């Protein structure tokens, strides 16, 4: 089932992006090993709880249709004993998914996103940027495009610990030296506040350094996908200090890495409860019910995630609420099947 889902996902993605890859000069080796290999690892692990759920339904339905479950219960075995092997397997798969989610997939995403940056995403644009960096520096700019490489209407304010403005630096355009904190400012104006008078400086160009680079300001929303557990924790802390509006998005990415593997438990119990009784429609009706439950689960995840990113709903609640709701459903179904 994993293989079928991944092949379908790869075919759809290939139909959308392959032409752009080839036009940009990507080789077949790069497309296969740098992009699609890491693409499959990402989505195989992301959808593993759902695929496990469908597998549990198919396997258990097959046992029920072949009248293999009723003799087990008639022999005196409890439903809890019947479920135990499923939960042992679910525990192993959950732990494996946690390790892969937090440490292996981010490294694979780093390679995949670097490939997309080189061959697919041709230009990046940031408008109306505002952030506070460590060292009491507040930064503004009106626009930036990676194609031109220039920041427009660049402003840096230096404040002290008392909340008093120390200096004000503005430039019509600014450019960051790649891979460093060195900047070149054009048509700049600098004012340093002092006593008894301020110090003013105006010029055509200025070479200087800051505590930040353009890579920290011009980032794509999916940058967190390429960070391991400890990296994304530090990144979120730094973005929160900067006042970034993307913090909820990054938190959702972090919390989903744990909540999705944990859903393996819940979906496994629901799958057993749905499929352990023989039905007139056979395996097909059980799989149809299972797919319906998956769609509802994914829809609930998307609704709560959007709420976290747009209306201020706490990120950890947004990610875990679907598990709590479906956990309650799993408990009711489990009790009902026991009776």
What is the pTM for the complete model shown? 0.81
Q: Are residues 163 and 79 located together in one domain of the fold?
A: no
CA distance 169 to 190: 4
Give residue 231's pLDDT.
93
Note down the domain range covering 317.
2-119+243-338
233 in any annotated domain: no
Q: Are residues 36 and 185 located together in one domain of the fold?
A: no
Give residue 70's pLDDT.
83
110 in any annotated domain: yes
- What strands, in cross-sheet order, belong to the sheet with 182-192? 125-133, 137-145, 151-159, 165-176, 182-192, 199-209
Q: Are residues 211 and 251 located together in one domain of the fold?
A: no
Positions in the chain short of pLDDT 70? 122, 281, 338-339
Q: Are residues 109 and 93 located together in one domain of the fold?
A: yes
DSSP annotation string for 242-285 = HT-TTHHHHHHHHHHHHHHHHHHHHHHHHHHHHHSS--TTHHHH
237 in any annotated domain: no
Q: Are residues 166 and 301 located together in one domain of the fold?
A: no
Q: Are residues 287 and 195 located together in one domain of the fold?
A: no
CA distance 210 to 156: 9
From 135, 219, 141, select the one nearest 183 (Cα to Cα).
141
From 241, 231, 189, 233, select the one nearest 211 (Cα to Cα).
241
**CB–CB of 52/273 below 8 Å?**
no
**CB–CB of 141/152 below 8 Å?**
yes
226 in any annotated domain: no
From 148, 213, 153, select the one nearest 183 (Cα to Cα).
213
76 in any annotated domain: yes
Q: Are residues 97 and 135 located together in one domain of the fold?
A: no
Q: Are residues 16 and 83 located together in one domain of the fold?
A: yes
Q: Are residues 111 and 256 located together in one domain of the fold?
A: yes
50 in any annotated domain: yes
CA distance 327 to 339: 19
307 in any annotated domain: yes
CA distance 52 to 39: 19
Q: Are residues 62 and 88 located together in one domain of the fold?
A: yes
Q: Are residues 301 and 153 located together in one domain of the fold?
A: no
CA distance 215 to 218: 5
34 in any annotated domain: yes
Instruction: Report the chain's terminal Cα–Cα distance, integer Å.
Output: 32
Q: Are residues 129 and 115 located together in one domain of the fold?
A: no
Number of domains in the chain: 2
């Amino acid at each position: 089932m994993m293989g079928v889902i991944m092949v379908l996902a790869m075919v759809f993605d290939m139909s959308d992006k392959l032409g752009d890859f080839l036009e940009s000069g990507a080789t077949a080796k790069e497309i296969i090993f740098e992009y699609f290999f890491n693409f499959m690892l990402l989505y195989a692990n992301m959808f593993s709880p759902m695929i496990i759920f469908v597998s549990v339904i198919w396997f258990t339905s097959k046992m029920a249709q072949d009248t293999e479950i009723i003799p087990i219960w008639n022999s005196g075995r409890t439903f809890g004993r019947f479920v135990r092997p499923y939960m042992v397997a679910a525990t192993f798969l959950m732990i494996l998914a946690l390790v892969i989610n937090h440490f292996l997939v981010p490294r694979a995403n780093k390679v995949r996103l670097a490939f997309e940056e080189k061959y697919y995403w041709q230009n990046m644009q940031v408008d109306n940027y505002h952030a506070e960096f460590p060292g009491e520096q507040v930064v503004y700019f009106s626009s930036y495009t990676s194609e031109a490489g220039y920041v427009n209407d660049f402003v840096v304010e230096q404040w002290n610990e008392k909340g008093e403005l120390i200096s004000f630096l503005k430039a019509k355009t600014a450019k960051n030296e790649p891979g460093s904190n060195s900047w070149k400012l054009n048509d700049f104006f600098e004012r340093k506040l002092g006593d008894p008078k301020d110090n003013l400086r105006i010029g055509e160009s200025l070479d200087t350094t800051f505590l930040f680079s353009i890579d920290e300001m011009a980032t794509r929303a999916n940058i967190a996908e390429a960070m391991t557990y400890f990296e994304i924790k530090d990144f979120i802390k730094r973005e929160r200090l900067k006042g970034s509006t993307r913090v909820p998005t990054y938190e959702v990415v972090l919390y989903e890495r744990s909540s999705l593997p944990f859903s393996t438990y819940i979906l496994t119990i629901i799958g057993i409860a749905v499929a352990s009784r023989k039905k007139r429609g056979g395996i097909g009706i059980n799989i149809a019910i299972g797919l319906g439950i998956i769609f509802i689960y994914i829809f609930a995840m998307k609704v709560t995630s959007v709420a976290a990113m747009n209306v201020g709903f706490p990120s950890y609640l947004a990610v875990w609420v679907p598990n709590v709701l479906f956990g309650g459903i799993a408990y009711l179904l489990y009790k009902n099947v026991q009776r």
